[in-house]
């Protein structure tokens, strides 16, 4: 079976930065897993000028590789491949002609500033290119309209739509896989009506802080479903911590435990919120934040501290009476916490 590694949206800018290291990691994964083809479905480069500056180094990365690399232009690098630019002997820019590999035919629909009937007509015209004798794979770069994606899911693209399409555009076409790019935030796959697959792999490296969690690619055998493959590449990791003043917990130790599990290639976005009982834990708000900052130094892109000391409120007679009433009720532990939160906020606002 033909094995394919499908990725997109690397947005290369500089030699040997985190995005470049992600590209090198993808090449190594391709080698280790004996893939036949690597597809990069748009936005290999962040800008066209980056393609010009990095092309000599790209040739080095793609030299002496045991697989073929297929690239289509995305909205960020749409002009990076004009004029027959050479990226390596085994690198093919798919714009017009299909690529044949055994019983697999791969067709590219690179990014263009078109939509609506113009885009639908372009996709429908593929019927003449696809063949029933082979497994047909379509590479594209654009915005799927069938499900709700926020603007943030596509990187810093503003409000403009980029080659928006629907799954229905592919109906009636002999397509086994639509391998797409442009959707950054996470791996997302869907079934086509004909039984094929539509796949966004997500960006293989965090481009913005909204792309959190360990990154992935689609590594699959033709004829089988898409497969998520975890990457050891740079990414942002959201760490939300909510403190509970009624539990025997040390806030600093909680943060320490989270950071001990942090992936070595991750940079954290830490949020600490909730309430603490400084009398019980013998630490002020300032003590807590100071000790946490000692743990997180050099490991965070952002830190947000929204914790409040409520030791005075916990000793308030009104709050004690309310808490006793809640305990007498037939509430789940979660509901009890919700009611206590409401009482705490009310007392804080009243200044009691």
In this model, does residue 152 exceed pLDDT 60? no
Name all domains of the chain by residue range, CATH numbers in brackets: 3-230 (3.60.21.10), 235-350 (no CATH)
Distances (CA, A) of 42 to 71, 267, 275: 7, 26, 46
Buried b (16+ CB within 10 A) or exposed e, 249-282: eebbebbeebbeeeeebbbbbbebeebbbbeebe
pTM > 0.95 = no
In this model, does residue 160 exceed pLDDT 70? no
- Supply the pLDDT for residue 94: 94
pLDDT digits (tens, 9 = 90+) for 229-268: 999 999 999 999 999 888 878 999 999 999 999 999 999 9
Q: In the predicted model, what is the mean pLDDT of residues 140-164?
A: 72
* Rounded Cα gap, residues 78 and 93, in angstroms: 11
Percent of the chain with pLDDT over 70: 95
In this model, does residue 225 exceed pLDDT 70? yes
How buried is residue 59: exposed, middle or buried, by Cβ count under 10 Å (0-12/13-18/19+)?
Answer: middle
Going by the DSSP 8-state scheme, the letter that residue 14 receives in this structure is S
- Give the pLDDT band of residue 148 (cuts 50, 70, 90): low
pLDDT digits (tens, 9 = 90+) for 25-45: 999 999 999 999 999 999 999
User: Packing angle between helix 251-260 and helix 285-296, nearest 10 degrees?
Assistant: 10
Going by the DSSP 8-state scheme, the letter that residue 34 receives in this structure is T
How buried is residue 91: exposed, middle or buried, by Cβ count under 10 Å (0-12/13-18/19+)?
Answer: buried
Q: In the predicted model, what is the mean pLDDT of residues 71-82?
A: 93
In this model, does residue 305 exceed pLDDT 90? yes
């Amino acid at each position: 079976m033909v094995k394919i590694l499908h990725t997109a949206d690397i947005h290369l800018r500089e030699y040997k930065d985190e995005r470049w290291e992600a590209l090198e990691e993808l090449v190594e994964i391709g080698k280790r897993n004996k893939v036949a083809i690597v597809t990069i479905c748009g936005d290999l480069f962040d800008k066209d000028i980056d393609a010009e500056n990095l092309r000599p180094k790209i040739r080095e990365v793609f030299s002496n590789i045991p697989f073929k690399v297929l690239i289509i232009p995305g909205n960020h690098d749409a002009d990076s491949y004009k004029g027959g630019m050479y990226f390596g002997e085994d690198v093919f820019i798919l714009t017009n002609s299909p690529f044949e590999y055994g019983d697999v035919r791969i067709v590219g629909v690179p990014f263009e500033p078109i939509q609506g009937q113009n885009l639908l007509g372009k996709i429908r015209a593929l019927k003449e290119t696809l063949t029933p004798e082979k497994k047909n794979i379509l590479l594209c770069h654009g915005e799927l309209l069938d499900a709700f994606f926020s603007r943030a899911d596509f990187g810093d693209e503003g409000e403009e739509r980029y080659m928006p399409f629907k799954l229905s555009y592919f109906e009636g076409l002999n397509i086994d896989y639509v391998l797409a790019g442009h959707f950054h935030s996470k791996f997302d796959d869907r079934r086509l009506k004909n039984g094929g697959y539509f796949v966004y792999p997500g960006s293989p490296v965090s481009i913005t802080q909204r792309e959190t969690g360990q990154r992935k690619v689609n590594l699959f055998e033709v004829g089988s479903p898409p497969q998520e493959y975890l990457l050891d590449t740079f990414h942002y990791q959201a760490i939300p911590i909510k403190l509970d003043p009624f539990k025997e917990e040390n806030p600093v130790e909680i943060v320490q435990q989270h950071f001990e599990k942090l992936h070595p290639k991750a940079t954290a976005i830490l949020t600490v919120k909730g309430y603490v009982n400084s009398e019980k834990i013998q630490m002020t708000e300032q003590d807590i934040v100071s000790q946490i900052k000692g743990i997180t130094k050099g490991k965070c892109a952002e830190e947000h501290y929204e914790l409040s000391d409520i030791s005075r409120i916990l000793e308030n007679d009104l709050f004690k009476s309310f808490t006793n009433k809640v305990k007498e009720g037939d509430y789940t532990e979660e509901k009890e916490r919700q009611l206590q939160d409401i009482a705490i906020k009310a007392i804080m606002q009243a200044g009691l």
